[in-house]
Chains A and B, each alone.
Chain A
Amino acid sequence: AQSVTQPDIHITVSEGASLELRCNYSYGATPYLFWYVQSPGQGLQLLLKYFSGDTLVQGIKGFEAEFKRSQSSFNLRKPSVHWSDAAEYFCAVGPHSTDSWGKLQFGAGTQVVVTP
């Protein structure tokens, strides 16, 4: 079965420190990959996406992610976190077949806490 795993439920990081959030997927082929952020009371906002091509993708708010086919991973990174980065982060995969192009499958999320 297809799956998306975010191994870290909760991460605490100091302001100014680097951040890496892990995402592993299980799919039959290379899916479309996404990272979303959800702040309290807000809708999900797309940080970045990977469809094909360069495996290092840049997103908004200074985030980047690297697709590693050999590890079935799409980890999210930020070199220096700001207090406003405290939120929940979701990795998601899109379909690679024609049975349902609308469906996104999300991981369980990683809650990021930023300390002063």
Chain B
Amino acid sequence: GAGVSQSPRYKVAKRGQDVALRCDPISGHVSLFWYQQALGQGPEFLTYFQNEAQLDKSGLPSDRFFAERPEGSVSTLKIQRTQQEDSAVYLCASSLAVSKSSYNEQFFGPGTRLTVL
């Protein structure tokens, strides 16, 4: 497919477990973003990459959250020792480029719904 894909679509974890959420951006997209969307809320920014460089991780809620994009394509968001408050939909988005001279549309994936019991 031509869009952003995310896997798994649904994840149930027991409190304390580690989870890994995957994002496959649109081919050729330089920028990749992660957002967290709690029930009934708008998406909240977590972090963003330009190629393999993580340029902003100011939205990560704690040091239990870690994101990587080692080859500048696929990205993984890892949550260690999950807590109930981590339950949310995690959205990934990609775009051609984001800079002062070029601000392109972010295309969103369908999200991964994480439920922590």
A: residues with CB less than 8 A from B are: 4, 32, 36, 41-46, 49, 51, 90, 92, 94, 98, 100-109
Other 6 A-B pairs with CB < 8 A, given A92-B42, A104-B33: A43-B107, A43-B110, A45-B108, A102-B48, A106-B35, A109-B42
User: Which B55-109 residues have a C-beta within 8 angstroms of A?
Assistant: 55-56, 58-59, 91, 93, 98-100, 103, 105-109
Indicate if the CB atoms of B100 and A98 lie closer than 8 Å.
yes
B: residues with CB less than 8 A from A are: 3-4, 31, 33, 35, 40-45, 48, 50, 55-56, 58-59, 91, 93, 98-100, 103, 105-111
Indicate if the CB atoms of B48 and A100 lie closer than 8 Å.
yes
With A98-B100, A101-B100 as known contacts, state yes or no: A106 contacts B105, CB within 8 Å.
no
**What distance in Å separates the Cβ of B14 from its nearest Cβ neighbour in chain A?**
25
- Chain A residues with Cβ under 8 A from B4's Cβ? 43
